[in-house]
Structure 1
Amino acid sequence: MPTEKYRHWVTELQQGKKRPAYLLIADLIESDIDRGVLQTRDRLPALRDLADLLSLNYTTVTRAYKEASNRGLIDSHPGSGSFIKGKTHTLPLRNGSDIEMTMNSPPEIEDAALIQQVRDDMNRTLASQDLPSLLRYQDFGGSITDKEAGALFLHALFPRMEPQRILVCPGIHSALLALLSLHCSKSNSLCVGSLVYPGLKAIAAQLGIQLLSVDSDQQGPRLRALETLCKAEKIHTLYVNPTLQNPSTASMSRARREGIADLALRYNLTLIEDDAYGLVPEIKHPPIATYAPELTYYINGFSKCFGAGCRTAYLYAPTKLATQRVAGALRALSVMSSPITTSLATRWIQNGTVSKVTQAQRQQSRALQQLAKTVLHPLKYQYHGDGFHLWLPLPKSFSANPSDVAVYLRNHGISAVSSAAFCTDNNPPDAIRLCLGGAVNQKELQQRLILLRDTLQDSGSLMLM
């Protein structure tokens, strides 16, 4: 395999000695894709060929290709090699402002009276508070009023929260960034299921943290496989997304939650419970944190049950000391939550607006899911009736890989994301995630679902890709 186009990597690696070589190689692949040096379907050098060229060991190059695969840049298949996937082309933002539908957003509020109530709350918040105070630096983690509002917000899931152990954060993503920087820096690893939220993969890649994939089933990490890793002392921190998991839509059973909590308690395993979708279903699932409160960092927020633009989240730490440590990490990374946004969230919680919005969105999601069921009935897929995304395995007749299918569909206005974006074990299933929420209306969604159905039923429709 010719390696001439990769010779500049030698110089780049020599100049970037402070960053691990495997991360630098993944960075170089991404950079060369951006510059057009590497094109979709280009075949990368064999592992040993690249190791010889860069004077690195085989293991380092193997790890680099795995990192590039985790970032969704390449596909690797034993026996056939590694190939460039390129970056998925996103649809333009609608009217320059709306979030395109590959982002898993809840349905937008349609009820005019409810929209007016939200707007009135915003006006009352600014009118009733001292505006200069909202423009100042604040103590990190929110006031006691904001923390009590967070406890009220999560009461249906976690009825006995201590407000002193709650931190108000500028979004779930920032909370995850702080927790990974705090708990995974020494071990340089984080245990995860075989499919995870792509944002977590991005955080881990940015921090140089290796994601250790544990054997998983429909509900997430298998208990026996997880215990094997615990006994071998190979893991110290586990990330879980137990309710309406992104992308599979699955929720852990009570038994699986209790089992994970039991393992955490027996092996002193730190748990990061990302329960972003916990308030979405009408029938609630008890958080793992209620079974292992001494070891679990519980996170929830407004992004999936109100609107992603309200960057307010709540992190509940195991102890007051742990709360202080996480507060220090969050302060270093994000300074503070916006006092204006936090004040709005507190008002919406206290006067019941957030509950009304969540209930309205749940009804909209049910209508969207029914529409999808009507149109996609010939296809088998996974979903939750109260959720707003689908996990759709590709028909066995398809020869195209999920990444190519996702690009094809998205170029035709269908919001699909390849399984590779979520995969952590370098073995992505032949499936795509489809979002039903966001800014699209039912007529537009129906048209896209019909096109999706027709495309997936016609195994030859992708031959022209």
Structure 2
Amino acid sequence: MWKPRTIAEAPLKYLGIVEGLEEDIRRGILLPGERLPAQRAIAEVLEVDLTTVTRAFNEARRRGLIAAQVGRGTFVREDPDHAGTTLPPPLLDLSMNIPPQPLSIDFRKLLSQTMNAVLSGPRGGLSLHYQDSAGAPADRQAAAQWLSSRMSGAEADRITIAAGAQSALFALCKLLLSPGDSLAAGALTYPGLLAAGAQCGAVIEPISMDRDGLMPDDLDRLCRRSPPKALYVVPTIDNPTAVTMPETRRQQIVQIARRYGVQIIEDDPYAPLKTDHVTAFADLAPELTWHLATLSKCVTPALRVAYVIAPNAADTMRLASVLRATILMAPPVLTAVASRWIRDGVVGDITQAIRTENRIRQGLAAQVFSGHRFTADPDGHHLWLSLPDGWQAGDFAKHAEAAGVSIVPASAFALTSSSAQAVRLSLGIAPDKAVLEEGLLQLAGLMEQIAVMKRTIV
């Protein structure tokens, strides 16, 4: 049985998986025609997100290493002489949930100019040195400036800077949870939480969800039985369901968390994109809430900078000690770039441009999937497409992959076996509207083909 592995020296995680696969084919460990394990199984072995494995499979197929057969699985190509040659890429990757790149923003030029300005400035040399694990005072002050536009409790001494939201989430899990502790989350939740929780030995308890997000009655039921140490929630443009929790629902959850002493991890990457303000958990229950904000979803994933507002300054130092033991510090140059963009208003301009592009793309998706059931936020860059009764999301995702479109089924986010039959479509990675439209039309056409086939069988 082939054991998946990754090449650590690869520049990106998914490329490490591809290079490991390619090397094993070349060495004869994997033979032509051999069936590969399911993507979910590979993700579990390598302890990565399912979306990372999906990207790796797409790239391996593009290189001619593997081929998918609808209904049977993915196999090493029978014609090894073809392996390693460049084939036409898949039509579209709708699996990675990244913001679109607005045509009005030249990120290469902007990053280059800002880095040069930072390094050539009077304090530029400091950006080349080690920093405090909580972040330099000037950068924490800039973070407070950005966050205070959405919440009232964003004091600089309560803010810790991390190298991206995932490292911050892992540090929070490490700080708040011991092996065997329970962590509550929505029955459909962000895969990165599953990975972080697993590394910390936490037991993740599912909370039922409805059109407004987490259901307070189910959270109360869990707390009466055995209160979890913490509750994880993505309250604004939830990933994957795209639901924004109304303030009344947030207040109900806060009452339950206070009653049972449950800490709240508020992962809020999409809140800056929202035009309609909803009060954050960090304002409703500041003494319980660890608020996590990142620039990855509202500016660019290239800035590996995230901010955590702790309940108090002492908790900030506790979190900084965990970061010191794991990542040591956020990347100083990128953090300085983020701070300058905040102070100069560039972050606001980019966020507005992304929001405008998201609205255009969501409008296009709404036209293509008119007549189908889906949940979306006009300001966000993903949607949650529900499949007709009797359809299986995993099977539909395989058909879509064979047709050249990569999407993520509900099972990638599910904490229970009885998950919704739906798929997440990420609209931001397509380079332009025309490419996105082609991919969405391909999916809509595939849905119609399957529907016709099912009617014929009946």
TM beyond 0.5: yes
The match for 1:155 among 136, 148, 163 is 148
Contact 2:115 2:333 in 1 (8 A): no
Tell me the SS of whatever aligns to 1:211. Answer: strand
2: CA distance between counterparts of 1:206 and 1:101?
Answer: 27
1:189 aligned onto 2:156:
no
Residue of structure 2 equivalent to 1:47: none
Structure 1 counterpart of 2:320, which letter? A
TM-score by length of 2: 0.79
Tell me the SS of whatever aligns to 1:458. Answer: helix
Shift, 1:129, TM fit: 4.8
The match for 1:123 among 116, 119, 139 is 116
Residue of structure 2 equivalent to 1:431: 422
Structure 1 counterpart of 2:406, which letter? S
1:221 aligned onto 2:237:
no
Structure 2 counterpart of 1:134, which letter? S
Residue of structure 2 equivalent to 1:248: 241
Contact 1:380 1:392 in 2 (8 A): yes
Tell me the SS of whatever aligns to 1:153. Answer: helix
Contact 2:119 2:125 in 1 (8 A): no
Tell me the SS of whatever aligns to 1:92. Answer: helix
Alignment deviations for residues 357-407 of structure 1 (CA, whole Å, 9 cap, x no partner)? 000011011111111122221322111111110100112263xx2122213
Change (3 A) 1:161 1:71: closer
1:269 aligned onto 2:262:
yes
1:133 aligned onto 2:100:
no
Shift, 1:216, TM fit: 2.1
1:210 aligned onto 2:203:
yes
Shift, 1:301, TM fit: 1.1
Residue of structure 2 equivalent to 1:288: 281
Shift, 1:413, TM fit: 3.1
Shift, 1:451, TM fit: 0.8
Structure 1 counterpart of 2:413, which letter? F
2: CA distance between counterparts of 1:100 and 1:140?
Answer: 36
Shift, 1:233, TM fit: 2.6
TM-score by length of 1: 0.77
- Aligned residue pairs total 393
1:92 aligned onto 2:47:
no
2: CA distance between counterparts of 1:240 and 1:91?
Answer: 30
Q: Which sections of structure 2, spanning at least 5 residues, go unmatched? A: 4-28, 64-85, 87-91
Change (3 A) 1:283 1:115: farther
Residue of structure 2 equivalent to 1:55: none
Change (3 A) 1:426 1:299: same
Change (3 A) 1:158 1:121: same
Q: CA RMSD in A?
A: 3.1
Alignment deviations for residues 412-449 of structure 1 (CA, whole Å, 9 cap, x no partner)? 33231010000012222110000100242111111111
Contact 1:379 1:453 in 2 (8 A): no
The match for 2:304 among 293, 299, 311 is 311
The match for 1:417 among 393, 408, 416 is 408
Shift, 1:234, TM fit: 3.7
Residue of structure 1 equivalent to 2:341: 348
2: CA distance between counterparts of 1:362 and 1:189?
Answer: 36
Residue of structure 2 equivalent to 1:110: 103
1: CA distance between counterparts of 2:376 and 2:240?
Answer: 10
Residue of structure 2 equivalent to 1:357: 350
Residue of structure 1 equivalent to 2:383: 390
Shift, 1:259, TM fit: 1.1
Shift, 1:320, TM fit: 1.5
Residue of structure 1 equivalent to 2:438: 447
2: CA distance between counterparts of 1:441 and 1:90?
Answer: 23
Contact 1:175 1:315 in 2 (8 A): yes
Residue of structure 1 equivalent to 2:393: 402
Contact 1:365 1:437 in 2 (8 A): yes
Shift, 1:184, TM fit: 1.4
Structure 1 counterpart of 2:329, which letter? M
2: CA distance between counterparts of 1:209 and 1:160?
Answer: 29
Change (3 A) 1:38 1:155: same
Contact 2:292 2:306 in 1 (8 A): yes
Contact 2:359 2:379 in 1 (8 A): yes
Alignment deviations for residues 290-330 of structure 1 (CA, whole Å, 9 cap, x no partner)? 11100110000101100111110100000122111111111
Structure 2 counterpart of 1:434, which letter? L
Residue of structure 2 equivalent to 1:167: 160
Contact 2:187 2:415 in 1 (8 A): yes
The match for 2:318 among 319, 325, 328 is 325
2: CA distance between counterparts of 1:444 and 1:462?
Answer: 27
1:375 aligned onto 2:368:
yes
Contact 2:118 2:124 in 1 (8 A): no
1: CA distance between counterparts of 2:122 and 2:330?
Answer: 17
Structure 1 counterpart of 2:426, which letter? C
Shift, 1:208, TM fit: 2.5
Contact 1:397 1:459 in 2 (8 A): no
2: CA distance between counterparts of 1:209 and 1:182?
Answer: 12
